[in-house]
Structure formats: structure tokens, C-alpha cells
Amino acid sequence: MDKRDNREELNLEELRTETLVVHGDDWVTNDRTVAPAIYYTATFRAHNSSEFAEMAGTPRHARYYTRYGNPVHERVAKIMAELEGTETAMVTGSGMGAIATTILALVSAGDHVIAQTRHYMSTAKIMDEMLPRFGVEVTLVEQADINAFAEAIRPNTKLIMVETPANPTLVLTDLAAVAELARPHGIIVAADNTFASPINQRPHDLGVDIVIHSATKYLGGHHDLTAGVICTSEELAERIWHTHISIGSVLSPMDAWLLLRGLRTLPIRMERINANALALAEFLEQQPQVERVYYPGLPSHPQHELAKRQMRGFGAVIAFAIKGGYEETQRFVSALKLPPNAVSLGGVDSLVVHTAAMWEGVMTEEQMRTAGIPSNFVRFSVGIEHIDDLKADVWQALQVV
Ligand SMILES: *Cc1c(COP(=O)(O)O)cnc(C)c1O
């Protein structure tokens, strides 16, 4: 028996997360490389025309044409399906690629979709602007109010889209409660799990059908790639894949390889990120220049009990309000020395944004007020730096406010 056979006997179900992210994809290719090979090719040759016919006719084939699939995609998907506890997974070129493809695959003119009043901005645009153009009705509900979901259900409701925690104040959606509401009606529930990561929250365990990630964030973890992942059943993945090959949100084999490298360290990065962010959130709460801190791991978060029930850690993102207005907040953000002033989250380096400054160009003041974005909000994505250095930097920046 050669080593290959030993590997095939690995029971992935028995492996712990830290081991899975390192070995869960070993069996996928027959390469004898230790580091995964990059299949840097757009197309794959068949041995003969009957094999070609078989390749062309097999949905989600990993060695036919890279828009359809690629062995590096397959490795990432294998690990992601294990991490989220779903039958299978597929990768896309960005988080929005994953979200848009999923929604467009599942709804048609005349259908109804329920989504949240707060979503990642580009998801909100799909709900507000794109779906109505195609004759799909959308009802937006307050995500913290489970009755609002119940009341929004109609006979033609096909999909409920949720996102938890959600910007800007890290409001949560009760995933188990939404899934339970949807089940008797046969409504598909999709959750954007980007802000939590599969280490901190597993929506499928709570009854959610489709779990979506912007892998640009924690999964890649180094702010160097964009990618998306869709984790679901074989049946739904095949449906979504047929739309995926038409939309063409393809992940390059190189970026898939970088994502795979990122996944190897996801559990240990999350351990540090969760600990750092909780410590920094507690520190911020004690500072006189800080008006309020929003973090699901703090007892002061209005949904802390739900957070403890459905999450195992609370993630990198802390939102907080500086005492004062736009000017004071700009001064604070500009005085920080460690975190770059940049969008995105979940990487090894901390990042900071003045939320109102980010939306200024895109939203009117009125829209910002309805979206609950006051002028003194800061979003801090905590990285894996030493917590004492982060605290010291935040402290010195608060002194100039
Ligand atoms: C970043 C993000 C997205 C979009 O992902 P991209 O990889 O940038 O396309 C979607 N949802 C959430 C919650 C995000 O943070």
C-alpha cells in the first residue's frame, strides 16, 4: 500500500479544525507535491474524444475549463465545505461574485425576496436596484426583529438573505429562528457569514441552506486577494454553478492558491483576532473620549445573549463612536500610527476607517442617517499584532481628540 492509499483512508469527519485546514484537501489531486501545485491553465486536455465528451457534460468538472472549475478551486472548496459543515462548496472571483451569482441563480421574475435593512453596500444595491429591474419584489426587514421576518413571508417568497453581524453597529440576526421560519414554506435561506468566519459561526448547523463568504476577508487573511465562497448542498451548488458559468466570476488559480495558503492558518489567526478584538473593545469602553462601543462580545451589546448562543468568537470588527463629531473623529483616525486607513477587514494587519468619510461620496446625509451612520463612527478591524501595541496606539490617538 502506498502513501496515497493511507491518505484516502483519512476520515475527515474525525479531524479537528486545525488539522482539517492543513490536510483536508490532500486527497484532491494526485500530485506528489507537498505544497499544492498551481494549475495555471485556462483549459485541460482530454485523452481522447470520448473522455472529452464526458468532461464537457459533467457539471462542476475540475479539469475541463477554468471558468467551470480548476483543481486549486477544488482544494479550497473541499476545506470550506468541511469548515462550514456543508455537502460541498464552490469558489468565485469575489464575495460579490458569490452573492450576485447565488441570488440570480435562485430567483425569477414574480418571485419575492426577504432581506435586511442593513447589508453590505453592494448586496443592498442588488436588493434595492437590481432585483426590482428584473421583476423580483424585495422586502427589507429589521434584522434584530424575528417577527418582521415572519410577517414578510408571502406565498411567492423564494429566498431569505441574511447577514450577521452586519455593519455599521454589528447587529445580529437570529439564524436558527430565521431558518425555522423558512423551513415549512420551503424558502431557501442564504447567510453572508463574512463578518463571523466559519471559526466563529456555522450557519448551516443552525439550519441555513447556503453560507456565503467574501474570502477577501478572514479566509484569505492577508489583504492580497479577492475571492468568494458558496457553501451548500450538492443540489443547490449545481443549480448555482449553471448560473456561475454564465456570469463568469472566476477565481484565478493563483488567487485560489493564495487563498488556500491563507486557510492553513485561519484557526490560529482567528484565535488571536478574537482575543485581541475583545481586549481592545473592553479597553475602548473605558476611555473617556469614547462615547459608545459596539462589539457582540461585550455584555453592553444589545444582543450579547444571542451572540453567545450562535457564535464561538466575536471577530475582528469593532465599531465605536468618538465623543464629538466629524472633526474629532477625523483627528483620531489620522493620529493612529499602526492601522492603515483602509477598507476591508479580517486580515493580519489592523485596518481603520472613519465610517462617515467612507460613505460621504456615495450617500447623502439623509441616507446616512437612515442607515444609522453617525458622523463620529469608527470601524476598526483588529489584526494579529500584539495587543499592547494596539492599545498604546489607540490611547495616544485618543489624546489628540
Ligand atoms: C467585503 C464583503 C462583501 C463583498 O466581498 P468582495 O470580496 O469585496 O466582493 C460581501 N459581504 C460582506 C459582509 C463583506 O464584508
Rounded to whole angstroms, how far apart are CA atoms 96 and 102?
Answer: 10
Closest-CA residue, ligand 1 atom 1, reads 214
CA dist list (Å): 386 to 24, 41, 53, 223, 266 = 30, 40, 55, 19, 18
pTM for this entry: 0.96
Look up cell 494526485; give the residue.
30
Domains of the chain: 10-264 (3.40.640.10), 267-398 (3.90.1150.10)
Q: Cell numbers at residue 131, please? A: 432585483
Q: Find the angle CA(386)-CA(389)-CA(394) to the nearest 5 degrees.
A: 125
Residue 142 exposed, middle or buried by CB count within 10 Å (0-12, 13-18, 19+): middle
Rounded to whole angstroms, how far apart are CA atoms 269 and 257?
Answer: 18
Q: Cell numbers at residue 149, please? A: 421576518
- Provide the pLDDT for residue 99: 98
Would you say the CB of residue 80 lies under 6 angstroms from ligand 1? no
- Provide the pLDDT for residue 359: 78
Compute the CA torsion angle 253, 259, 264, 265 (nearest 10 deg). 160
- Provide the pLDDT for residue 8: 66
Closest-CA residue, ligand 1 atom 7, reads 95
Per-residue 3-state assignment (H helix, E strand, C coil) for 59-82: CCCCCCECCCCCHHHHHHHHHHHH
Q: Cell numbers at residue 108, please? A: 425569477
Q: Which atom of ligand 1 is nearest to the CA of 163?
A: 13
Name, in order, each residue with C-beta under 8 angstroms of 54's C-beta and a sequence gap of 6 or more.
none
C-alpha 212 – ligand 1 centre gap (Å): 10
> Among 94, 101, 214, which residue has the most ligand 1 atoms within 8 Å of its CB, making it the best to mutate?
214
Rounded to whole angstroms, how far apart are CA atoms 9 and 305?
Answer: 41
Per the DSSP assignment, residues forming a β-bridge with 159 are 113, 188
- Provide the pLDDT for residue 12: 81
Rounded to whole angstroms, how far apart are CA atoms 88 and 146?
Answer: 29
Q: Which atom of ligand 1 is nearest to the CA of 226?
A: 7
Element at 102 (helix H, strand E) = helix 95-106
Q: Which atom of ligand 1 is nearest to the CA of 215?
A: 7
Q: What is residue 18's three-state secondary structure?
A: helix
CA dist list (Å): 53 to 50, 56, 57, 62 = 5, 5, 6, 14
Closest CA to 290 of 374, 395, 170: 395
User: Residues for the chain: how many in total?
Assistant: 401
For the chain, the first-to-last Cα distance in angstroms comes to 68
Residue 378 exposed, middle or buried by CB count within 10 Å (0-12, 13-18, 19+): buried
Confirm if 88 and 77 have CB atoms less than 8 A apart.
Answer: yes
Rounded to whole angstroms, how far apart are CA atoms 397 and 336?
Answer: 5
Closest CA to 401 of 290, 317, 285: 290
CA dist list (Å): 226 to 92, 215, 265 = 9, 7, 17
Q: β-strand 228-232 against 290-294: which pairing, if any?
A: unpaired
- Provide the pLDDT for residue 373: 75
- Provide the pLDDT for residue 196: 98
Per-residue 3-state assignment (H helix, E strand, C coil) for 298-364: CCCCCCHHHHHHHCCCCCCEEEEEECCCHHHHHHHHHHCCCCCECCCCCCCCCEEEEHHHHHCCCCC
- Provide the pLDDT for residue 366: 77
Q: Find the angle CA(212)-CA(215)-CA(221) to the nearest 5 degrees.
A: 145
Rounded to whole angstroms, how far apart are CA atoms 101 and 243?
Answer: 6
Closest-CA residue, ligand 1 atom 2, reads 214
Confirm if 224 and 217 have CB atoms less than 8 A apart.
Answer: no
Series of mean pLDDT values for 10-residue runs along the chain (401 residues): 58 90 84 91 97 97 97 97 98 98 98 97 97 98 98 98 95 98 98 98 98 98 98 98 98 98 98 98 98 98 98 98 95 98 97 89 75 87 98 98 92
Would you say the CB of residue 95 lies under 6 angstroms from ligand 1? yes
- Provide the pLDDT for residue 1: 40
> Among 122, 212, 229, which residue has the most ligand 1 atoms within 8 Å of its CB, making it the best to mutate?
122
What single DSSP character describes residue 297?
A: T
